[in-house]
Amino acid sequence: MTFFEPSLPVVPAAAGTRVRTPKAFNRLVDLAYNVWWTWVPEARELWQRVSPPDWAMNPNPLTILQTMSPDTWEALEANDSFVELYEEVIRRFDAYMETEDTWYEREHAGSLPGGIAYLCTEFGLHHTLPFYSGGLGVLAGDHTKSASDLGLPLVGVGLLYRRGYFRQAIDPDGLQQHHYRAVEVARRPIRRVLDRTGHPLIVQVDLPDSTVNVGAWRIDVGRVPLILLDTDLPSNDPADRPITHILYVRGREMRLCQEIVLGIGGARVLEALGIEPSVWHVNEGHASLALVERLSKTISAGSGFERAVEQIRGTTVFTLHTPVPAGNEVFDAGLVGRFLNGRLPGLDDAALGSLGHSGRDGIFDLGALAIRLSRSTNGVSKRHGEVVTRDWHQIIGGPGTSVTNGVHLPTWVGGAMGKRIAEALGPNWTEMGLDPQAWEAVRDLDDKAVWDAHQSQKERLIRHLRRRLRDQRARHGASPGDLRKITSLLPVDRLTIVFARRFATYKRAGLLFQDLGRLTGLLTNPERPIQLIFSGKAHPADTMGKDQIRHVFELANSPELAGHVFFFEDYDMELARYLVGGADVWLNNPRPPMEASGTSGMKAAANGVLNLSVTDGWWGEGHSDGNGWAFGEHFESDEVDADALYRLLEHEVAPLYYEMDDEGVPHQWVARMKNAIATVAAPFSTQRMVAEYTERLYLTKG
């Protein structure tokens, strides 16, 4: 039971939902409406066993519950092993939800009586909930999951994107196509939040030409409620209903409308629910207009401007995820004035403009606004903290700080490797993100057992990639004969290097292709062949990013590199889980200091995948001797970094991988794998991260 529970009643199910289960399995409905199952292997197995074919096509519990026939349920009731698994999963679920023996209760009980409001424009919880685009959203989802695991009194606030982020398809010419699919709310674990009278909660925000009704939905993330705001309501003007349809919509005016709904609407929803947070955590500048709403309320309650600013600052922390000021969310000051001036009681228009000023005339900067109204501003790695201080110290009023990002280990560690880790640390290893020393036991695991676990996850990855490649090439018109040949592509015994992330120019997806002749020689070496896996999306407005995708796609289909380089479309959390679990090497080569943190490499390392990365973002503090490879510490040029990368691949990475004993085990490679898990898993877990936020920023008022 969360401390927010009495304040967040919900409609039992979304309109149109018809769920029929036998009495023997009636608790499956409770399980389906909580995404706890996504990070518990036994719960995932339970859903899979209800109907393996349906689950393989669509791993969505509510779809399973809504489509199962009575005959299926009768067969399951007679299946003793299924009944035993069901009872065990429900027992664990209830124990998790009801326990009071959490880290927060043991260490800081009662210290945050109003809890934490965590506001972010995207949340990545599972690939069937497409309310995320990439790292920021997945980080927010992992933050929320670990807050639940630690028992932290936190409520998340975001937007219900009914068309989500775009699905990517690559056409035969390598051009990125964008498709927005409607989210079937009735088949997602999302329920309408009710007000104190038992009716669907509605708050209002004012826009220049209308007053928009904002509804609220709830997703249960373990013990943490996530509130998603929605303007697609019948009571709204048809022109206002799409405000919350698409994540990162291109139109600047529509984007501002979204951020007004998220910030101002989010603050009003919490107020309507009677939630008075002890701390407001604004995760990136998109949500910073919540602080303007709070400031307006505080001034209207009788505080002078300066006093009101100090009151808001005293309860707010702000996290910057952008590497440089130019990456912040900014708007034309005139546009912001047209939408906000005169609509915030007590707040003078000139004062509002000064809060969002960052030194560029005519620009309103949401990052600058959040900094001025927060008691702390942190970057998301130690190096990024230095960049934040360098670029923002004049507005911060001193140095910034940093809390290095992390990942939710139960979500991202694959099943086979998780079993090996459990042998070393015990069955509760997923709860040991705060005990780095305990992970030293991984080093004592048998090399062959670790290698076999990795190979199992790699085989699973290769099967998944071949299915995707078959679908992709069939859509491009490949013949049946060509499609049959795919089974011989992507051999499991070949060194597999993965580059998977957003295709922004600073991430340098093309760095490996600086010298095609040299690269071709490396990839096609008959004794030590290499295959490269690329995947990622470019924002629809990012022409240069889309050009990079086309370039990689063309090279992957060139005579010289075909069969050694592949591009896989529609990178999402599902594909990411396969990749971070089954790759041999995780490649990351941004142009320093442009990478604020990066978390995909953390996920990979926790699976024993070795990072090959420039020392930017988190890898500057995560890299140690023998847990991966680093290059490009002092950026000179792309040519210099490419040369360093080629030399590492030729002289260290490939030789070490192929140095195997008679049983096919590369012992020196496995030693690095175990070292990677031991040195990265706990220090770069979101358990550590959320605990650090709590003790350094949430509970500290300085």
Q: What is the pLDDT of residues 626-651, one digit of tens each?
A: 999 999 888 889 999 999 999 999 99
Q: What is the DSSP letter of 34?
A: B
Average pLDDT of span 61-87? 93
Residue 4, pLDDT > 70, answer no
Q: Are strands 376-379 and 316-319 parallel, antiparallel or unpaired?
A: parallel
Cα→Cα distances 124→40, 148, 580, Å:
17, 15, 16
Q: Quick one: pLDDT at residue 593?
A: 87
Q: Does domain 411-684 have CATH number 3.40.50.2000?
A: yes
Q: For residue 12, name the pLDDT band (cuts at 50, 70, 90).
A: low
% of the chain beyond a pLDDT of 90: 90
Average pLDDT of span 88-108? 97
**Contact status, residue 46 vs residue 55, Cβ threshold 8 Å:** no
Q: For residue 20, name the pLDDT band (cuts at 50, 70, 90).
A: confident
Q: Does domain 103-406+691-698 have CATH number 3.40.50.2000?
A: yes
User: pTM of the entire structure?
Assistant: 0.96
Q: Quick one: pLDDT at residue 325?
A: 61
Q: Do domains 103-406+691-698 and 411-684 have the same CATH topology?
A: yes
The four Cα atoms 635, 637, 643, 647 give a dihedral, to 10 degrees, of 0
For tokens 């023998």, the residue is 626
The four Cα atoms 391, 394, 397, 402 give a dihedral, to 10 degrees, of 0
Residue 7, pLDDT > 70, answer no
Residue 683, pLDDT > 80, answer yes
Average pLDDT of span 668-675? 98
> And the tokens for 11?
């409609």
> 147 - beta bridge partners?
none
Q: What is the mean pLDDT of the chain?
A: 94
Residue 17, pLDDT > 70, answer no
% of the chain beyond a pLDDT of 70: 97
CA gap 385, 381 in Å, rounded? 6
Average pLDDT of span 651-676? 98
Q: Quick one: pLDDT at residue 6?
A: 43
At 498-510, the pLDDT tens digits run 999 999 999 999 9
Residue 90, pLDDT > 50, answer yes
The H or E element containing residue 167 is strand 167-170
> 167 - beta bridge partners?
179
Cβ–Cβ contacts within 10 Å for residue 455, how many? 16
Average pLDDT of span 253-267? 98
Residue 1, pLDDT > 50, answer no
Residues in the chain, total: 702
Domains of the chain, by residue range, sit at 103-406+691-698, 411-684
Residue 680, pLDDT > 80, answer yes
Q: For residue 120, name the pLDDT band (cuts at 50, 70, 90).
A: very high
Q: For residue 700, name the pLDDT band (cuts at 50, 70, 90).
A: confident
Q: Quick one: pLDDT at residue 457?
A: 98
**Contact status, residue 609 vs residue 479, Cβ threshold 8 Å:** no
CA gap 591, 305 in Å, rounded? 42
At 175-196, the pLDDT tens digits run 999 999 999 999 999 999 999 8
| Most confident listed range (56-65, 86-95, 387-396) | 86-95
For tokens 């990368």, the residue is 645
The amino acid that residue 231 corresponds to is: T
**Contact status, residue 285 vs residue 122, Cβ threshold 8 Å:** no
> And the tokens for 387?
């960049």
Q: What is the DSSP letter of 278?
A: S
Q: Quick one: pLDDT at residue 701?
A: 72
Strand order in 628-631's β-sheet?
A: 565-568, 530-535, 495-500, 585-588, 610-614, 628-631
| 92 burial via Cβ count (<10 Å: 0-12, 13-18, 19+) | middle
Closest CA to 420 of 448, 393, 400, 462: 448
